[in-house]
Structure 1
Amino acid sequence: MSVRNATFRQLRVFVEVARHLSFARAAESLHLTPPAVTMQIKELEGHVGLPLFERQGRRVALTTAGEYLLVYARKVLATLKDAEDVAARLQRLETGTLTIGMLGTAQYFLPALLAEFTREHPGLDVRLVLGNREQLVQMLRNADVDIAVMGRPPSELNVRAEPFGAHPHVFVAPTDHPLLRIGHPTVQSLLPYGFIVREHGSGTRALFQAFFERHHEEPRIAMVLASNEAIKQAVMAGLGLGLLSLHTLQLELEHGLIARLDVEGTPIVRAWHVVHTLAKLLSPAAEAFRYFVLERGEGFLAERYGALLPLPSSP
């Protein structure tokens, strides 16, 4: 028995099962049947000579051997992807698969921007992978994505992060909230009210905390929700105030379903970045996407969201 006899296909299946901790979800992601995934894992376990997963009913967990193999399997597949990218560069072809990681907030504009990109590059198979900031950092670290679109770039990784557009955040409230009668509410005037916030690991949550820390205030957290859509619905229902990216609010603001609070010191304007690790050689497809976003991103965002509010510089 020898790991040398394992195939790249078996390693890909193994990494996908380890990512989802589910044979069924791995099969769906790989466009295989669950029995095919099970067969590939059994063959790989035969080569290794040890079980890679512990199965208890529908629950799946990596064994110690599986955890060790996962580290090396990821390295092997990342090296193979780099080799494929080099070959594509030599051929000067923009073909193959491009995997883009994006923040949940970016889903409100990136698919439309990506539609323009794919019309110009029809030979590409483009995949979008959604995650919060913490998850995107891990995806970049593991080479699970070729490139990422995110707000605050990761300081914990050696990356190239290039800004391409303004990313304003605003406080929102139900349309009948008493603070709307105040022209420019102060930060202190927000404190009697509870806030609905994103989970830890989210860039929006980090920005929320940094804003109040900068003003030496402690906001009251009424509820933690794991998506921008859930926060919008909760705010509209009157369960609290929120801090959200303007790019998530276009429909609600235009139809008067939610209200923006013109709090002093807001909007909080950060930047969108296109990010990739310096250790990873970009394929021609990823390089083309990077140039496209840097060239078109700012104008696209300004055209789509510029009319919603003026964007003064945050203090």
Structure 2
Amino acid sequence: MNLIRSLTLRQLQIFVIASRLPSFARAAEELHLTQPAVSMQIRQLEEAIGMPLFERIARRLTLTEAGERLSHHASRILGEIKDAEDTMSSLAQADSGTIAVSIVSSATYFAPKLLALYSKQFPKVDVHFSVGNRETLLRLLQDNATDLAIMGRPPPELGTTAEPLAYHPHVIIAPVTHPLRNARRFDLQELAGDTFLLREPGSGTRAVTEHTFRQHLFTPARCVTLGSNETIKQAVMAGMGVSLISLHTLALELRTGEIALLDVNGTPVERTWQIVHLSSKQLSPTCVMFRRFLLEHAEPFLEQEYAKLMQPLSSATARRGRSAKREEKVERG
């Protein structure tokens, strides 16, 4: 017996309705079918199973033992299908489901707050996010192990779709005792005698720092590589050196006055947060909605959180930096 090939869902639907009613005539009324049509479907189902499902006792249809057992299984099957239908409908409406998001470590200082805002609006969506440096995120994207990534600009050869989320300034920080703390618009060469604290190779922050050094033809007296933004900040506060780092990692230290921003020509270094996914990936409706949420909310959120922290730097540079994302959108358009 191969029921999968023999019976149909329509037969199961008709059988379940008929099993609850005293006659095929009543079942036909509820199903908006003719009585012969109902009888034919039940007969075909009985032939597929090889046993009678109904018997007539005192002019009333009653289930046989086989009918009783099939009724239980048929109801479960139809219930599972209804659950699947509801799940697919929810996904199509983008109000439930699962999303895998990967973020670079510099984004951990603001991304969880945005995820919390999103979760309040869409409590049924389960967002899983992982953290790594830029190199790790590129590998996750390449392996199709993540839906979306929040990072800097990905390499074009990876075949990704990227759209700017928000302006992402990088600034030079120093101990509060640094002699140039209150100096205005001085050249990077003035820091040639300082120790520069760098992120590890493969980090987006490391790439920005090295690009800035090349752009200014700058070589620091000494470099020390450290493995995280937190370690760099602690080392700067301890007086070990200076560093070029994302402004978005510095909210607490700048508010408490534990770290100084240096007003170096060419800073803030203008970069942009990107929301990235593989071009070949078909995003689910839930992912599309989440991506749209980030595109709408990330820039206003970061502006509100970090605008005051930019005040130690020249207002002209800050204004130019904050317009970077908008200019990039115009160029892309």
If the length of structure 2 is used for normalisation, what is the TM-score? 0.66
Cα contact 2:106–2:246 (8 A) shared by 1: yes
Deviations 1:179-228 (A, max 9, x none): 22422221110111110110000010000000110111222443111110
Specify whether residues 295 and 95 from structure 1 end up closer, same or farther in structure 2 by C-alpha distance, changes over 3 A only. same
Give per-residue Cα distances to partners, 1:108-167, cap 9 Å, x unaligned: 000001111111111111111001011000000111110011112232311110002100
Residue 163 (str. 1) matches residue 170 (str. 2): no
Q: CA contact under 8 A between 1:102 and 1:128: conserved in structure 2?
A: yes
| Change beyond 3 A, Cα 1:306–1:171 | same
Match of 1:62 in 2: none
**Amino acid across the alignment from 1:313:** R
Query: For the pair shown, which has the larger CA radius of gyration, 1 or 2?
Result: 2
Distance 1:252 1:91 in 2: 43
The answer on 1:211 being equivalent to 2:212 is yes
In 2, Cα distance between equivalents of 1:275 and 1:234:
32
**1:289-304 aligned within 5 A:** 289-304=290-305
Q: 2:91–2:286: 8 Å Cα contact kept in structure 1?
A: no
| Alpha carbons 2:103, 2:151 under 8 Å: kept | yes
1:313 aligns with 2:314: no
1:245 aligned partner, one-letter code: S
Alignment CA distance shift 1:279-1:99 (3 Å): same
CA distance in 2, matches of 1:130, 1:193: 31
Matched, 1:144 2:151: no
Q: What value does the CA root-mean-square deviation take over the aligned residues?
A: 1.9
Shift of 1:88: 6.9
CA-to-partner distance for each residue in 1:241-270, whole Å, 9 max, x for gaps? 011111000110111100000101111121
Structure 1 CA distance, aligned partners of 2:217 and 2:94?
Answer: 54
Separation in structure 2 between the aligned mates of residue 91 and residue 155 of structure 1, nearest angstrom: 31
Give the structure 2 partner of residue 38 of structure 1: none
Alignment partner, residue 184 of structure 1? 185
TM-score, structure 1 as length reference: 0.70
Structure 2: give runs of 5+ residues left out of the alignment: 1-87, 325-333
Give how far 1:89 is off: 8.6
Aligned residues: 230
* Number of the residue aligned with 1:37: none
2:103 is matched with 102
Percent identity between the aligned chains? 45
Alpha-carbon distance between aligned partners in 2 of 1:199 and 1:90, rounded to the nearest angstrom: 40
What one-letter code is carried by the residue in structure 1 that aligns with 2:183? Answer: I
Task: Give the distance between the partners of 1:270 and 1:253, measured in 2 at CA.
Answer: 20
- Greater mean deviation of Cα atoms: 305-314 or 182-191: 305-314
- Distance change >3 Å, CA 191–CA 251, structure 1 → 2: same
2:25 alignment counterpart: none
Residues 312 and 265 from structure 1, CA distance in 2 versus in 1: closer, same or farther, beyond 3 angstroms?
A: farther
Greater Cα offset, 211-220 or 276-285: 211-220
- Further displaced range: 152-161 or 89-98: 89-98
| Residue segments in structure 1 that go unaligned for 5+ positions in a row | 1-86
Give the letter for the 2:136 counterpart.
Answer: Q
